């Protein structure tokens, strides 16, 4: 492994959180466990799930959660997986068939890539957020017999950049060209579209073939779901190996998810508003301090400063940490060499004072 690229398991307690995915503060919200206990009371199975969802693990709370998700995210159906990783691997390894083609944004998450590698469809990456490049690829490689299904994979908020594709443009492109659009909504779940996702915010539910929503980020819990048609759900129940060959989530995990979603529906608006205010404030401060040009353009809770070189970005992150701010460096090979960065995750619970302090400190590192 290259010098300065070695990864370590860190634990940084007591610092101001600018790095977790707990965007709305739900992971630290005591009300959620209270809400969860109400749901848990209803289920006679209290501890482990006891088996795969296809055997004994499909306890009643799953039905309640999937019904809720279907309504909340305005989808025909929802299928819960143990994690976002499992959902992506399950979908991409089983749905696209031999002879089909998958085009994926070059920056999609590792779980999408791993799923694609496990399946049999041909696959090509296209330039980040470029519908023009996607069009060129499709024209070049569409099967002449026209029988192959084409799948397009992207994210609504890119995890290491914080930016978003032109989702309306992409959805229209897919509709016009008969392609199936899959949107990983991990970093948009619970935030956009009044606590739903970006597909909902843009009214694209009917044009998106499948959405992957995850619960380990703004929902503050764990797990994920694939949103799509009833037929898709039934197919995945029969063929997605990451759903079939694993023990289901325990009842308390599903109960906390129900608690979290009910809380989001009833009280989430305030947290979403606060988060948006902090995103706006962060961007204003970047302009005021004259450091906006090193940041990737983003309207999400993920804001990244490009500071090339593992050896350069690591000490700056350490300095911010020493001063009390938990900001993490993202090193190559996680991102391309030369595009190493500091990744700021903003939260509803951060204060404007914290944001202004950490950015002043960052600016002082460039003197
Ligand atoms: C875009 C994206 N998709 C999928 C995942 C995987 O989700 P999970 O952490 O629930 O496995 C993540 C996060 O790790 C992610 O950032």
Report the pLDDT value the prediction gives residue 140, as an integer from 0 to 100.
84
Q: Give residue 139 CA to ligand 1 midpoint distance, Å.
A: 31
Q: Which residues of 321-335 are buried (b: 16+ CB within 10 A; e: fewer)?
A: beeebbbbbbbbeeb
> Has residue 7 been placed in a domain?
no
What tens digit of pLDDT does each residue of 242-284 get? 999 999 999 999 999 999 999 999 999 999 999 999 999 999 9
Q: Which of 27, 86, 111, 304 is the best mutation target for the ligand 1 pocket, counting ligand atoms within 8 Å of the beta carbon and taking the most?
A: 111
> Has residue 3 been placed in a domain?
no
Q: Which of 20, 159, 163 is the best mutation target for the ligand 1 pocket, counting ligand atoms within 8 Å of the beta carbon and taking the most?
A: 159
CA distance 367 to 365: 6
* Domain co-membership, 305 together with 254: no
* Domain co-membership, 254 together with 344: no
Contact 150, 100 (CB under 8 A): yes
* Domain co-membership, 56 together with 93: yes
> Partners of 345 in the beta sheet?
302
* Domain co-membership, 56 together with 109: yes
* Domain co-membership, 294 together with 152: no
* Domain co-membership, 110 together with 189: yes
> Partners of 152 in the beta sheet?
103, 181
82: which residues sit within 8 A by CB, 6+ positions away? 222, 223, 224, 242, 246, 248, 249
* Domain co-membership, 280 together with 254: no
> Has residue 11 been placed in a domain?
no
Q: Looking at the chain, which runs of residues are DSSP E strands?
A: 16-17, 77-81, 101-105, 122-126, 150-155, 180-184, 210-214, 224-228, 302-306, 325-326, 328-330, 341-345
> Has residue 226 been placed in a domain?
yes
* Domain co-membership, 274 together with 232: no
Q: Which of 214, 223, 225, 345 is the best mutation target for the ligand 1 pocket, counting ligand atoms within 8 Å of the beta carbon and taking the most?
A: 214
Torsion angles phi and psi, residue 344, rounded to 5: -100, 120
* Domain co-membership, 294 together with 202: no
Contact 57, 366 (CB under 8 A): no
Q: Give residue 125 CA to ligand 1 midpoint distance, Å.
A: 19
* Domain co-membership, 245 together with 351: no
Q: What is the CATH number of the domain that holds 323?
A: 3.90.1150.10
155 within ligand 1 shell (Cβ under 6 A): yes
Point out the domain boundary residue: 234, 263, 292: 263
> Has residue 8 been placed in a domain?
no
Q: What is the CATH number of the domain that holds 131?
A: 3.40.640.10
Assigned token pair, 345: 């995750």
Q: Give residue 357 CA to ligand 1 midpoint distance, Å.
A: 30
Number of domains within the chain: 2
Tell the residue nearest (CA) to atom 6 of ligand 1: 84
CA distance 65 to 225: 10
Contact 157, 187 (CB under 8 A): yes
Tell the residue nearest (CA) to atom 5 of ligand 1: 84
Domain membership of residue 153 as a residue range: 30-263
Point out the domain boundary residue: 263, 290, 323: 263
Point out the domain boundary residue: 242, 263, 284: 263
> Partners of 154 in the beta sheet?
183
> Has residue 284 been placed in a domain?
yes
Compute the Cα dihedral for 282, 326, 328, 316 and give only its sign: positive
* Domain co-membership, 234 together with 279: no
| Cis peptide, bond prior to residue 333, ω within 30 of zero | yes
Torsion angles phi and psi, residue 78, rounded to 5: -140, 140
Q: Give residue 19 CA to ligand 1 midpoint distance, Å.
A: 15
Q: Give residue 215 CA to ligand 1 midpoint distance, Å.
A: 9
> Has residue 10 been placed in a domain?
no
Cα Dmax for the chain = 62
> Which residues of the chain register pLDDT less than 70?
1-12, 43-45, 142-146, 367
> Partners of 342 in the beta sheet?
305, 329
Q: Which of 216, 220, 226, 334 is the best mutation target for the ligand 1 pocket, counting ligand atoms within 8 Å of the beta carbon and taking the most?
A: 216
Contact 18, 12 (CB under 8 A): no
What tens digit of pLDDT does each residue of 335-344 get? 999 999 999 9
17: which residues sit within 8 A by CB, 6+ positions away? 326, 345, 347, 349, 350
CA distance 41 to 43: 6
Report the pLDDT value the prediction gives residue 34, as an integer from 0 to 100.
87
Stated pTM of the model: 0.95
> Has residue 96 been placed in a domain?
yes
* Domain co-membership, 231 together with 349: no
300 within ligand 1 shell (Cβ under 6 A): no
């Amino acid at each position: 492994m290259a010098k300065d690229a070695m990864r370590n398991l860190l634990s940084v307690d007591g610092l101001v959180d600018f790095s977790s995915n707990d965007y709305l503060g739900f992971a630290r919200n005591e009300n959620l466990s209270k809400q969860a206990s109400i749901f848990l009371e209803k289920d006679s199975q209290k501890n482990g799930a006891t088996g795969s969802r296809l055997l004994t693990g499909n306890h009643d709370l799953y039905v309640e959660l999937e019904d809720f998700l279907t309504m909340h995210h305005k989808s025909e159906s929802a299928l819960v997986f143990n994690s976002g990783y499992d959902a992506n691997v399950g979908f991409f390894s089983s749905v696209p068939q031999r002879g089909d083609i998958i085009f994926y944004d070059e920056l999609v998450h590792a779980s999408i890539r791993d799923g694609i590698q496990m399946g049999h469809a041909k696959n090509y990456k296209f330039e980040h957020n470029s519908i023009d490049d996607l069009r060129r690829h499709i024209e070049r490689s569409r099967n002449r017999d026209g029988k192959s299904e084409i799948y397009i994979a992207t994210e609504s908020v890119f995890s290491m950049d914080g930016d978003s594709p032109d989702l309306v443009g992409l959805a229209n492109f897919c509709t016009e060209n008969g392609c199936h659009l899959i949107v990983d909504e991990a970093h948009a779940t619970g935030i956009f579209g009044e606590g739903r996702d970006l597909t909902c915010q843009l009214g694209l539910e009917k044009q998106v073939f499948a959405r992957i929503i995850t619960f380990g980020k703004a929902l503050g819990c764990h797990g994920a779901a694939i949103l799509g048609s009833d037929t898709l759900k039934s197919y995945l129940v029969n063929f997605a190996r990451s759903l079939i060959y694993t023990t289901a989530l325990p009842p308390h995990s599903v109960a906390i998810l129900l608690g979290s979603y009910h809380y989001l529906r009833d009280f989430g608006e305030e947290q979403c508003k606060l988060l948006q205010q902090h995103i706006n404030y962060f961007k204003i401060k970047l302009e005021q301090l004259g450091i906006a040009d090193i940041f990737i353009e983003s309207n999400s809770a993920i804001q990244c400063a490009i500071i090339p070189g593992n050896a350069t970005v690591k000490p700056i992150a350490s300095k911010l940490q020493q001063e009390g701010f938990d900001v993490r460096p993202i090193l190559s090979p996680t991102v391309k060499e030369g595009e190493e960065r500091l990744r700021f995750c903003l939260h509803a619970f951060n204060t404007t004072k914290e944001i202004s302090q950490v950015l002043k400190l960052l600016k002082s590192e460039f003197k």
